[in-house]
Structure 1
């Protein structure tokens, strides 16, 4: 990804993104390489250290969910996991849309409160 794509995805300003990228690079979590399609930008790549952290996080999350589900009947586990997955996919879709629907809902509630 490029730094521009990153700040657009994270919805934060360019300066904040540049500082985060610099810190991650200093800490050894990413590297920058020239973008062959655009001489002005650089591509950002995760390092092995970043991948190890991601894998570690996934392992911890897996253990957490195993603990959370421990003791529930199988039918309840299945319903919970389906619901959790549905919520995860919905939140991921909303993030990709720039929180359009959530923002709209907040504005509608604010307008309703002003009418009262």
Structure 2
């Protein structure tokens, strides 16, 4: 099962890379754009939690997105040790294009599935993800 999930993920990344290269985006940049636009002023730490990556990956990706003009970072006025991340106009402009690319991918890979099958697949995948998250969260407390 994990082999199939991982391969599907890599194929999705290849598709996104091709479709988003015209915007200077690749890899996981779509996740950052969507989450920062939906949560302006999010801390880097919270962003890492939301997208399930480590803080160093967030820092590296945000540096790339900042250089490309998609985000800005500023110190948190309440805690100067934290950085708040905001989308730029460029990010807000590309947001619907990124969302459309993701929607198209989902529609392509689910083509031929009935609505009921799609809902069941989503339900099962959510259960799997929640179990995985619970297991990892438990590791953090052990």
Question: TM-score when scaled to structure 1?
Answer: 0.56
Count residues in correspondence: 96
CA–CA separation in structure 2 for the residues paired with 1:89 and 1:65? 15
CA–CA separation in structure 2 for the residues paired with 1:7 and 1:65? 24
Compare CA radii of gyration and give the structure with the larger one.
1
Gaps of 5+ in 1: 104-116
Q: 2:110 touches 2:118 (CA, 8 Å); kept in 1?
A: no
Question: Highest relative contact order (Cα 8 Å, sep 6+), 1 or 2?
Answer: 2
Gaps of 5+ in 2: 1-41
Can you list the C-alpha shifts for 1:50-95, whole angstroms capped at 9, x where unaligned? 334332132123334445565x4xxx51222212321453355357
1:4 shift after superposition = 2.7
CA–CA separation in structure 1 for the residues paired with 2:62 and 2:78? 20
Can you list the C-alpha shifts for 1:86-109, whole angstroms capped at 9, x where unaligned? 1453355357x37628x8xxxxxx
